Structure 1
Amino acid sequence: LVQHWLGTNGMQRRIPDYLAVEGLTTLNTLSTVFSFLLGMSMLPFFYNLWKTAKYGEPVGVDDPWGYGRSLEWATSCPPPRHNFVELPRIRSESPAFDLHHPSESVRELSVR
């Protein structure tokens, strides 16, 4: 957003240095500092990615959390070529949850 403000205040693009008289130095410095902070904020993400790839346990079950709600959690992992042998019957907005927890799922309404 700072670069947007600088552009509306008359800063030209692709100029290697700016004169202090133009009054754009402070906002350019602020933009640079925050861009470095944004880059440093990615370090925990990359550390987590590396640690998980190196030391994490592979997932051995289809639904590791046990409460997946959509159909991708109702098939095996990795999924077979056609995912399902037959199309699953969808009775609610959470078909995988209904499949894994039939006692807690919403009961099917009888149609008269």
Structure 2
Amino acid sequence: MSGGRSTRTNRLWCWSLSKPESAGFHRTRTMIEEHDRVVLTERLPRQDLQAGDVGTVVHVYAEGAAYEVEFFRLDGHTIAVETVSASAVRPVASTDVTHARTRG
């Protein structure tokens, strides 16, 4: 450990020890990579996509500033491929439940 700081990175989270003398870690920005599933956090009305829809990242722009995300129907057909800002998606969580809805 150099400089009193330690950083450990895994596929889901980047943890950093903010003060060596502290007993805990604090969570920083989530890392999303190509082929990760993500959850839309805002509505995209032009594409008939709603917050909560799940897609797959097909490209990461500018070290995670934006993502190209492919959205599918449950039968596997693509319904949209959209470029969204990092604030418009989040990684899937182990507590997330798949939910079906019918598109117009």
Q: Which one has the largest radius of gyration?
A: 1
| TM norm. shorter chain > 0.5 | no
Q: TM-score, normalised by structure 1?
A: 0.24
Q: TM-score, normalised by structure 2?
A: 0.25
